[in-house]
Structure 1
């Protein structure tokens, strides 16, 4: 007999039963050895395929009954001598029975809590309908209905299970716009692959616990716990007995229409804005703020995005979107969550119009910060800065303002202030030469800031430059509104669109660098790139 012809099928059987390659190899080897040693008697069997299958079942049955990690394989000669065919049939029936029990247990795990508990009490704990009614505070008639429905669902689900496609889990990055919850929600939930996939499955339409559980092949108890947490933080909404995700999730190619629009708009407006600003750069530098003497290109890297932001704030549809706000959540946060399905760039941008440009639009954040001392900052963590999230918060503003006073008034720093200076030199915000401290970014007093902004406003108002950006906010809103589930409020759609309008800032920077108007920053210049601080 040619054993090689049967080896693949034997291994497939073993792998199906063990779900483990190493164990499957061991089991396959035992079966093949036994077949080889008894080849003379096996040649007398009429249906080789059927008999090998029975041997496989017999071996597996021994393992299952004894619950051991090794295979107790009977001598194949003894098996051939069995005169009672009912014993072979018993093995097949045992295999089918064990398979059915495994299916029932699996389906029971997928059921929601109330079905699961009633079935366990009735069938496993052998409790009467009256006892279940009393323990669960449910009328006996309702218990009977649940039992009937549960059995009906089990029958249907077991029939369906073989026809269902296997689900391939996704990986999703989840961030937020606004202030996180007290336990860093929503980000803290979505380090879990289970939470990521629950949110993804429930995004486009409402689904039940059972539907999620079965699709993920995860026990309903785990799904219920996750949904309870997500519902508490208002990241999913319950609709009857179903759940639907209540935050934005981007598929790999969802960002392409927005990016295409921004690329084309940036190429239209970037140069006129840049040339207008560059034309008044000397006038701005003459205001005399700290950092006015840095390299001209690096100063433009800071003032240019700030200038576009000022223009946006004068456009009517942008001002209308600005009425949207980050909603409060029960977890203590004020935020809008955003999920993005992870995919490599070749998949995400495959066949797209501007695929070679998209990665240059990557941005960790356009950040505004303020301190109680009326200090404010604006900073962009973009592709050109190296896509590093720079921690730059209220304490940094206060420390840097103190250093600015030391520089302005030629004060000798104390030991603690020297440590602060050294810290910000290392981060790239300050430089020290001949014991003189200088700033690598603009930092302005209230008067200096007002004077600089007045120069910018006057020049751009004269050119009516805000019309360059008119209608952009409306287009961003319509892009999102047309593909957002009804569980996401219109305010959230507007807030999301408001955030996306800011891509025009990154887009204009990208285009100016691409055509050589903005010099590519050196590594040592990236620490303070696009940073500006002022006092109100």
Structure 2
């Protein structure tokens, strides 16, 4: 301790006052050092280093609320650095020292101490304990509760508390002896977009409402290809399990994760790279569209008279405008009739706790996309979307494509659309101040437009079940055309979509591929083919909001 005495002689008046204040700690500090390093010579070195650090630090501290807490904080800080200098690994840290730390009257020294490496590692390991272990450690060492009080608080026997505490200490010691690996998501988290669902959303919404947060997206992705525990997901994300447990439970409650075995979770949400799939499948879609589009268009032109005689309302009698509805609807029907057999929707679509039933999917966002060599936006589709209420006759069908000037979001299509349109068609919506809001709505949606003769309805309207029946009877049967074309497309796209996907999601993926080859993206390719070949004309500006839409009291 000679060096410490020399230091005392060299300091000024204020320093000597500080030295006098800590003189009484000489023996306790030596005992602290001896308790940790065991060898007397090393203990003297450590104790001397602690006293020197106390003297140096005193001059820079104006207000010490608790001298005792301050001294022991510096002692532990110096001990940690002493260990580092001697290349001792953090596992030499004494877990029982936590009780001494928490006994300090002021939390401020502890908060400062937690920024050191050893304590960061200890805190990290506490976070990786199981829920019950973590709670007991925090209650005992941080909240300073006695074993008996913890037992009462958790409603478990005292011996059980002791056992958990002992097991927690073992796990903490073990954890600090190894380098905890973190996964790639900790430094390169994924980002998802173009989220959607196939089916009916629940009261709390759909995929985007549950996976809109980066944390939820990365949890789902971490458990995508293999089932993982919360701790394994936490390690992959480089986060404390305590921050993930609630989110994992929430996602599992609503079937975005499934529990494959006790404590293990796997994704129940399709995640795909839409850019890669779109580019890889482009030629397949084009080939199928080329095989069926022209024949289908010509067949619809041949039945034009029967269609017009069915009684369906078409603005201005524009048959080209009607084709923008007939083609998507009929392509969907022809394709599904020709589709290879597969599991039905109820068999594959997960039920949700909030009453929804749908297949959830999301696309991986790319930081940069290569040039696909074609305009991807021309082939984007959304739908079909249906709006109806049981035991009422009104029905609305809509399909969104590149050419429809509408939001591609299911929330922007409500049942009230067909209700207000029906009131207008029935003459129950006179133009007055009382109905100003409804007229504003109809104009904004494009359902009506103002002409010299007054307001005119601007969408396809089917006024009765009988009219719908006549229209359906006029539709050509093209099963012989579609069956081989759609069958080939389905096989190619299924093979493409199942690549690098987990086996348990294959039924959902197969259903989604059926939807895309039974309408869906195939519709966009057929429309593009017909426009490029000069058969189908693009919609006029005032038609863009209501193309590929039909509605009416048809049920």
Establish whether TM, by shorter chain, passes 0.5.
yes
* Selected match of 1:496 from 509, 512, 518: 512
Deviations 1:204-228 (A, max 9, x none): 1122222322333333222001011
The structure with more radius of gyration: 2
376-385 or 507-516: which moved more?
A: 507-516
What CA distance in whole angstroms lies between the structure 2 residues aligned with 1:123 and 1:228?
A: 28
* Alignment counterpart, residue 211 of structure 2, candidates 174, 190, 215: 190
CA gap of 1:107–1:294, structure 2 versus 1, over 3 A, is farther
| 1:317 Cα deviation after fit | 1.9
1:93 aligns with 82
Residues 438 and 104 (structure 1 numbering): CA distance in 2 closer, same or farther, change over 3 Å? Answer: same
Deviation at 1:443, TM superposition (A): 0.7
Does the 8 Å CA contact 1:118/1:132 hold for their aligned counterparts?
A: yes
TM-score (norm 1): 0.71
Residue aligning to 1:151: 173
- Kept in 2, the 8 Å contact 1:301–1:529? The answer is yes
Contact 2:223 2:266 in 1 (8 A): yes
Matched, 1:447 2:466: yes
Choose the corresponding residue for 1:215, options 228, 233, 236.
Answer: 236
Contact 1:431 1:437 in 2 (8 A): yes
Determine the structure 1 residue equivalent to 2:430.
413
Question: Is this contact kept in 1: 2:198–2:359, CA < 8 A?
Answer: yes
SS of the residue 1:338 aligns to: strand
1:231 to 242, 247, 252: 252
Shift of 1:497: 2.9
Q: CA deviation at 1:106?
A: 2.6
The correspondence for 1:341, drawn from 343, 349, 364, is 364
- Equivalent residue, structure 1, for 2:424: 403
SS at match of 1:317: coil
Query: What whole-Å deviation, never above 9, does each CA across 1:136-164 have from its counterpart, x for those lacking one?
Result: 553755653443234213322xx245998
> Structure 2: how far apart are the matches of 1:500 and 1:260?
15
Partner of 2:189: 169
Deviation of 1:439 (Å)? 2.7
Is residue 381 from structure 1 mapped to residue 400 from structure 2 by the alignment? yes
Question: Is the counterpart of residue 291 in structure 1 residue 314 in structure 2?
Answer: yes
Aligned partners of 1:99, 1:141: CA distance in 2, in Å? 28
- CA drift of 1:245 comes to 1.2
Name the counterpart of 1:86. Answer: none
Residue 277 of structure 1 deviates from its aligned partner by: 1.5
| TM superposition shift of 1:260 | 4.4
Q: Which residue of structure 1 aligns with residue 300 of structure 2?
A: 277
Counterpart in the other structure of 1:434: 452
Structure 2 unaligned regions, length at least 5: 1-52, 64-77, 91-115
Distance 1:185 1:310 in 2: 26
Q: Equivalences for 1:22-61 in 2 at 5 Å?
A: none
Counterpart CA distance in 2 for 1:114 and 1:336 is 35
Q: How far apart are the structure 1 equivalents of 2:408 and 2:535? A: 25
Q: Specify the SS of the correspondent of 2:202.
A: coil
In the alignment, structure 1 residue 330 sits paired with structure 2 residue 353: yes
Distance 2:127 2:62 in 1: 22
Say whether the 8 Å CA contact 2:299–2:476 is kept in structure 1: no
Matches of 1:177 and 1:162 in 2, distance apart? 35
- Aligned partners of 1:508, 1:324: CA distance in 2, in Å? 30
Question: Conserved in 1, the CA contact under 8 Å of 2:256 and 2:267?
Answer: yes
How far, CA to CA, are the matches of 1:143 and 1:163 in structure 2? Answer: 29
In the other structure, the counterpart of 1:457 is 476
Does 2:263 align with 1:241? yes
Give the 3-state SS of the residue equivalent to 1:524 in structure 2.
helix
> Which shows bigger deviation, 121-130 or 289-298?
121-130
Give me the CA root mean square deviation. Answer: 3.8
Q: Aligned with 1:301: secondary structure?
A: helix
| Equivalences for residues 119-158 of structure 1 within 5 A | 119-121=137-139, 124=142, 135=154, 136-137=156-157, 138=160, 140-141=162-163, 143-156=165-178
Which whole-Å CA distance do the structure 1 matches of 2:143 and 2:474 have between them?
81
1:199 aligns with 2:220: yes
Structure 1 residues 164 and 422: CA distance shift in structure 2, 3 A? closer
- Cα 1:335–1:478 shift into 2, 3 Å: same
Cα offset for 1:504? 1.1
* 3-state SS in 1 of match to 2:359: strand
Unaligned runs of 5+ in 1: 1-57, 69-88
Residue 268 (str. 1) matches residue 287 (str. 2)? no
Offset, 1:414: 5.9
1:366 Cα offset (Å): 2.1
Q: Distance in 1 between matches of 2:237 and 2:183?
A: 15
Q: Distance in 2 between matches of 1:478 and 1:67?
A: 72
